[in-house]
Structure 1
Amino acid sequence: MIKVGIIICNYNKKEYVLKCIDSVLNSSYKDFDIYLVDNASTDGSVQAVKERFCNELKIIENEENIGGSGGFYTGIKFVINKGYKYIYLLDNDVVIHENSLEKLVDYMEKNLNVGATGSKIYYLDNPKVIQEFGSFVDWDDFNMKLMNKGSIDLGFSDMKSDYVPACSALLRVDALKEVGNIDKEYFVYWDDIDLCHRLKLQGYEIWAINDSKVWHKGGGNVRRNTFGTYYFWRNRIHFFIKYSEESKIEKVAAKLFDDIFDAVYACNYVGKYNSAKTISLALEDAIHNVRGKVSDDKIFKVEKIEDRLKEILRGKKSITIISYNNVDILMNVINKIKTINNKVELTILSNKKLDIEQFKECKILKSNDYKSKESEIVIKLCNHIFDMRNELCNNIIYIDGYFNTIITQEDRKYIENYENIYCMMKNIWYPNLVDGMRRLNKKLNN
């Protein structure tokens, strides 16, 4: 067997990291060394690992929390010259199938042009549902694009991708030496995308492997502060300024302005003023090339928002959901409805073929088969509520992928005023945004 260096990055997830290490030790692939990089955890993680696993791994203790990016950077730097052919990155809240590592190594051995392979990732709390399999960079919308999220695994083939998430990624050491270490200045988010993009620029391929399975907890849906909001936006903006051609910077600026405006306008709409403020700070920092760990005064507590759907949905006997092509949003909305009212009869209108097993508690109809059945509530799903601003109907509730809703006439007036505010803010912000992005693009590429 070929020896693999396994790096697990941990911060304050004691119970999860113990399960992660257990799953690695139960692998069918046995020729590896484990390195746990701990980012100054305060929950007893290090002591628990020492007591349970003793001499089965090496622990690298950082003096402060330097983020997932910094943790992986530290681990890679420590092991890259120790003779390993491959380095396997794992998040602390991942459980791997016994064959996962073997399948990744086998694929890399047979395909020498591949720089990184990743696993098919399932939700740890919903183990039959895919969290991510096939990950891409969308150079039109300047964002990441996840394939198969929220889908039941009906069988897939290995998928050539733009990147594989660092929660389970096998890297070829020779390729790493060519392109350099993971960029620790991301702190969290977009670091794996950046690394894989650099591998692709050097001619290497990136593949997601169907038979390599892992289960990932992830950040979850409940956020108590704006930590994730800040880093996702700042790092997304940085990535596309850095890697876009100079001639396309105005297109980048136009799309990111639209997305930022939508996000801020939506945050103000629902009362998440701290999130709106965080996005503005993330944009400002990205334009001024502020990187690494952000100061605490830029992270805020998320306000508690009243759940407006509860009163509307409680006690209802029948609801019709007009779906569109995003299965993940459909599933999330159904789960939300069920937590409020688990006795309601649900009908889904969809012209996309849906998995009957996944939606077995619902009646599924094609739109043209819907014979004007009377439902107490009709809900229409959309990518974003602002996309609906020119086609609002009074008798329909709109819900988007962020659980923003349009329910009342006041809601409709706010949405209808979108264009006026958008034009005013674009006249004020956009010219400076383009100039700032151009200057940074030139600086980073020089």
Structure 2
Amino acid sequence: MAPKVSIIIPNFNHINYLPQRLDSVFNQTYQDFEVILLDDASTDGSADILKTYQNHPNVSHVILNTVNSGGPFKQWKKGIELAKGKYIWIAESDDVAHTFFLEETVKFAESKQDLGLVFVASEVINKDDKLKEKKMKPASKTTGFTIESLEDISNYLIKEQSIPNASGVLFNTKILESINLIDLENFRNTGDRYAYIQIALKSKIYFLDDALNYFRMHGLNTTKRNKVNNKLYYDRLLIVEGVIPSFVGNKFACANLKQFYFKQIFICLKAGFLKKVNSVNYKMFKYGLISFGDFLILLFLSLFSMIFQKKLPYRIKNYYKIRFLDESFS
């Protein structure tokens, strides 16, 4: 008989946090689950910890890569394809869960017929397990908050990221399997955001206002690293490019998408993502989000960025900020 929940734990060099993560999974009050343990060629000895769980009754797979895959979402894809449960919990190896996480989220999910995923509020802890004052949850939202329309998607998954930590999410397996997993594995950082958006286009996303997850902030966080090397911003270009066709015809959603995109454009050009920026500009024109005149003006911005490279003159930047970040732009 298939388990109700498949728990995927993708690990990479988290030896300092992995034992606590594993304890918080195996000690859940809800026990109808399988655990899929994945290691992406760790060099810190943490894979040896995973090996000790090979004969655990709840563990269905222990897969240890000998060569690093190059991206965390390749591990997500592998785990999703192995999962047998009705629901999937991707428990990142440096985070921790409240013992009631599965009990509460599964109960909530079972009460909904149209659920794509449910996410909870998260407390923030540091590398030494000290609780920070910050609580991660959608601003001014409580239980009953639902993402179900294009306007909601553009507000809560594009304009802002209302699902702050993947470890605090319980996915409907069928819906998660239905998104493009090949596209997912190409992301380096924001593949979770891509997954949430694609799920929201197919079903509803619910928020359960209970702090049942602990997100760990530390120097090795993937988001921090990818912000520094600009990979985060390239992934945001992929997010924008991918969602354009779905937003066509909804003025409000398109406006939020354009605002999000144009806030990234100078960083992306400075980082050298000229080809992808031009691709996004063309797709926006093709689907009617911008006029031909604006498309040409954006081509000039790409040309200016090539000429001036990392020192784009203030007057040029200011012109584009006024033109494309003004709320009246449509």
Contact 2:7–2:91 (CA<8 Å) still a contact in 1? yes
Q: TM-score, normalised by structure 1?
A: 0.51
Where do 1:53-132 residues align within 5 Å? Answer: 53-56=53-56, 57=59, 58-62=61-65, 63-79=67-83, 82=84, 84-125=85-126, 126-127=130-131, 129-132=133-136
Q: 1:419 Cα shift?
A: 5.3
Give the aligned partner of residue 17 of structure 2.
Answer: 16
C-alpha contact (below 8 Å) 1:183/1:194 kept by paired residues: yes
Counterpart code for 2:317: Y
Q: Check 1:227–1:173 CA distance in 2 against 1; reply closer, same or farther (3 A cut).
A: closer
Distance 1:166 1:33 in 2: 18
Matched, 1:173 2:162: no
Letter in 2 for 1:30: Q
Report the equivalent of 1:344: none
C-alpha distance in structure 1 between counterparts of 2:221 and 2:111, whole Å: 42
Shift in alpha-carbon separation, 1:138–1:179, aligned structure 2, 3 A: closer
| CA shift digits 1:224-260 (9 cap, x unpaired) | 9963342221111221122124677798567634544
Task: Spell out, residue by residue over 1:389-410, the C-alpha distance to the aligned partner (whole angstroms, 9 max, x if none).
Answer: xxxxxxxxxxxxxxxxxxxxxx
Deviations 1:37-71 (A, max 9, x none): 111111111112323x3422331123323322111
Structure 2: gaps spanning 5 or more residues: 140-146, 281-311, 325-330
State the structure with more CA Rg.
1
Q: How does 1:177-216 map to 2 (within 5 A)?
A: 177-181=177-181, 183-189=184-190, 191-202=191-202, 204-211=203-210, 213-216=212-215
The equivalent of 2:300 in structure 1 is none
* Cα drift, residue 287 of structure 1: 3.2
Decide whether aligned partners of structure 1 residues 253 and 175 sit closer, same or farther in structure 2, where only a CA change above 3 A counts. Answer: closer
1:256 maps to 2:297? no
- Is 2:5–2:86's contact at 8 Å kept on the other side of the alignment? yes
Rounded Cα–Cα distance in structure 2 between residues aligned with 1:46 and 1:10:
8
SS of 2:208's partner is strand
More helix by share: 2
- TM-score, scaled to structure 2: 0.68
In the alignment, is the contact (CA less than 8 A) between 1:5 and 1:32 conserved in 2? yes
Instruction: Give the match's secondary structure for 2:13.
Output: coil
Q: Which blocks of at least 5 consecutive residues in structure 1 are unaligned?
A: 148-162, 265-277, 291-416, 431-446
Partner of residue 274, structure 2:
284
Confirm or deny: 8 A CA contact 1:100 1:211 kept in the other structure.
no
Distance in 2 (alpha carbons) for counterparts of 1:226 and 1:141: 24
Tell me, in whole angstroms, the C-alpha distance in 2 between the residues paired with 1:188 and 1:210.
Answer: 25
Counterpart of 2:136 in structure 1: which amino acid? Answer: E
Change (3 A) 1:234 1:124: same
How far apart, CA to CA, are the structure 1 residues paired with 2:212 and 2:188? 26
Query: Does the 8 A contact of 2:188 with 2:232 survive in 1?
Result: no
Q: Distance in 2 between matches of 1:85 and 1:222?
A: 29
Per the TM alignment, residue 426 of structure 1 is displaced from its structure 2 partner at its CA by: 7.5
- Of all paired residues, the percent bearing the same amino acid is 22
Name which of structure 1's ranges 116-125 and 218-227 shifts more when overlaid on structure 2: 218-227
CA distance in 2 between partners of 1:102 and 1:90 (Å): 15
The amino acid across from 1:36 in the alignment is: L
Task: Please report how far the alpha carbon of residue 109 of structure 1 lies from its aligned counterpart in structure 2 after TM superposition.
Answer: 0.4
What is the alpha-carbon distance in structure 2 between the residues aligned to residue 224 and residue 134 of structure 1? 19
Asked if the contact 1:13–1:92 (Cα under 8 Å) also holds between the matched residues in 2, the reply is yes
Tell me the equivalent position of 1:443. none
Which SS does the other structure have where 2:160 is aligned? strand
The root-mean-square deviation of aligned C-alpha atoms, in Å, is: 3.7
Distance 2:189 2:168 in 1: 15
What SS is found at the alignment partner of 1:186?
A: coil
Q: In the alignment, what sits opposite 2:317?
A: 422
Q: Distance in 1 between matches of 2:248 and 2:3?
A: 43
Q: Which structure has more RCO (C-alpha within 8 Å, separation ≥ 6)?
A: 2
